[in-house]
A and B are shown apart, each in its own frame.
Chain A
Amino acid sequence: MTTVLERVRSGREAAGERWRGAPRWVRWALLAAVIAFFYALPNREFYQYLGPIPTPGANFTQVLFTVSIYVLLAVGLNIVVGFAGLLDLGYFGFFAVGAYTVAVLTSPSSNVKTLWPWLLVVPLAIGLTMLSGVMLGTPTLRLRGDYLAIVTLGFAEMIRIAAVSSEFLKGQRGFNQIPHPPGKYADGKPFFGVLDARPYYWLVLTLIILVVIGVRNLTHSRVGRAWISIREDEDAAQLMGVPTFKFKLWAFASGAAIAGLAGALFAGKQNFVNSQNFELLNSIIILAAVIFGGSGNIVGAIVGGGLVAYMIERFRGIELFGVELYEYRFLIFGLVLVVMMIFRPEGLIPNRRRAAEFKDRRKEVIVGE
């Protein structure tokens, strides 16, 4: 049993070595090809040749938009969970804060009637979400371990219940006529319309690329080193002079800001926001996606977020023995996660360091026996 597991592990490591060993231009060319592929993907002229990839049970372009939002969220949560090692079970709560900020400040059905344009509210939404992250993090990040998980879980539920029951947040009725992002074609038709989801997808895709560049630079800086040291050994990090609380708060707030951005994008596309958009399950799915993809690795988080969101939609409209697979999506998802935890606990595309940490812990367990 163990030998099989070891062989699977080392095989994957070899693939990683080959990628890192490839010349620089090969990696850049591959990266450019992948990015071009994803920009082309929502065009029917392109995806109709892709065989089983387009979703049979749902509009593929719409699905792609949803998937891109999940990818953005996974990249953000990866900062919190993957880099700083903080367990956040209520990440979707920040997404809700972002979406509701946009809804309240732009929608005509809101009580405040500010009717601001979407673009003006986006930075506000990001700022407010960040602030809520700081408010939530300040008391809890001083503590270690499971407290944070519980508090974040509670936070996401609080936001959801506030959305359901508060008059100000309109509950089920929700906010309608949220304005779209600005921009017009040459002929005067709006670029971001109601029917075509492609522009929104392209917008999110572009923002993902920008966010990833930013996050990458951050992780290669002193900030990133501090995060990794906190994740690996918080006491030791502090003994090396790392202000651990400050950096944990930073990670938490930057993660929240990205979720706020995703929420604002979602509201701008959806045109309508109500309390049903923010179930607790979503937080769990994103967390599972990050762990599935390889927590601590940006590419892992992207792949995890993308695959998980896509697979869930892919099950729509497939019937097996008279039942729609979509109904069993979470059962299948759960099974996949269990198998993953056995064969590859560090995720599909793990961070090299992270993999070493896992090895270290396995060794510790063996010694402990």
Chain B
Amino acid sequence: MLLEIDDVSLLYGRIQALHGISLTVAEGEIVALIGANGAGKSTTMRAISGIRPIASGRIRFEGEDISKLRADLRVRRGLCQAPEGRGIFPGMSVLENLDMGAYTRRDRAGIAQDLSRVLDLFPRLAERSKQAGGTLSGGEQQMLAVGRALMSRPKLLLLDEPSMGLAPMLIQQIFDIIKEINEQGTTILLVEQNAQQALARAHRAYVLETGRIVKSGTGAELLHDPAVKEAYLGVA
């Protein structure tokens, strides 16, 4: 297993946001984490990337315990998150943002190679390479966040709501790109409110409700699960 999360709990002050979550991600998979607003999806991401400390439980990456490891050291091990929403650097240009993604790397040749790969995936970013990140549209910022995370050449890419606030056509596009990234060999853990799209492309998925995992299965299974359909897919 690339990532194993075992009985992880997390507190925001006195409020318990996660109640003993366990999940796994195997190499090469796309795993989706779906759930309503406030179910704890983004919190789970924060726990994995190390931005929030966990209260109990264990997080293992490539078999090693990283529960107590600092966030920046997790990035060095190959675990990179594209943060939710406006997590880009607004004052830096698109290229500088992408360059920050490769902060932990020293291999110039490899970085240049990954840069052209990212610009191939997102031609829009190439067009706007000199523009300040903060002046991009919502969709472009989202692409920038994903592209920047790819620049660290992660083994596991964490995507937090990549479709948030995007027009339907762009959502389609960004999910296609996610699929493509995965096919090129990057394992992906995806948090989504857009359950339809996420389940259609994920190999496996977990359903999160008020800080607990209530269901898991393959993407197709959950897509046809009556309870999931009713709660998250808007079909009665």
Interface residues of A, Cβ cutoff 8 Å to B: 222, 225-226, 228-229, 232-233, 235-244, 351-357, 359-360, 363-364
Contacts and interface: CB of A to CB of B under 8 A. Distances in A.
Contacts of B170: none
A242 B103 contact: yes
Q: Which 9 A-B pairs have the closest CB atoms?
A: A353-B91, A241-B75, A360-B134, A241-B104, A360-B90, A356-B132, A232-B89, A357-B91, A356-B91
A244 B103 CA distance: 12
Contact of A236 (B89, B104, B132): B89
Contacts of A225: 96, 99-100, 103
A363 to B, nearest CB: 7
16 contacts: A225-B99, A228-B92, A229-B89, A232-B89, A232-B90, A233-B90, A236-B87, A239-B75, A239-B87, A240-B80, A240-B103, A242-B100, A353-B132, A360-B91, A360-B132, A363-B134
Nearest to B99: A225
Nearest to A239: B81
B187 interface: no
Contact of B51 (A222, A235, A360, A363): A235
A338 to B, nearest CB: 25
Given A236-B88, A244-B72, A359 B80 contact: no
Nearest to A351: B91
Given A242-B103, A243-B70, A233 B87 contact: yes
Given A238-B72, A360-B91, 13 more contacts: A225-B103, A233-B87, A235-B51, A236-B83, A238-B51, A239-B75, A240-B75, A240-B104, A241-B103, A356-B90, A357-B90, A359-B134, A360-B135
B44 interface: no
Contacts of B100: 225, 229, 237, 240, 242
B71 interface: yes
B215 interface: no
Interface of B: 49-51, 70-73, 75-76, 80-81, 83, 86-92, 96, 99-101, 103-104, 132, 134-135, 148-149, 152
A350 to B, nearest CB: 11
Interface centre among A238, A240, A242, A360, by most chain B C-beta atoms within 10 angstroms, is: A240
B132 A239 contact: no
Contacts of B81: 239
Contact of B83 (A229, A232, A239, A352): A239
A240 to B, nearest CB: 5
Contacts of B152: 240-241
A241 B92 CA distance: 17
Contacts of A242: 72, 100, 103
A353 B92 CA distance: 6
B89 A238 contact: no
A228 B91 contact: yes
Contact of A228 (B87, B88, B89, B135): B89
Given A233-B88, A356-B91, A239 B134 contact: no
A233 B100 CA distance: 12
A142 to B, nearest CB: 11
Contacts of A352: 91
A232 B72 contact: no
A354 B91 contact: yes
A243 B134 contact: no
A239 B89 contact: no
A239 B91 contact: no
A239 B90 contact: no
Contact of B72 (A233, A241, A351, A359): A241
A243 B72 contact: yes
A363 B80 CA distance: 28
Contacts of A357: 90-91, 134
Contacts of B132: 353, 356, 360
A69 to B, nearest CB: 31
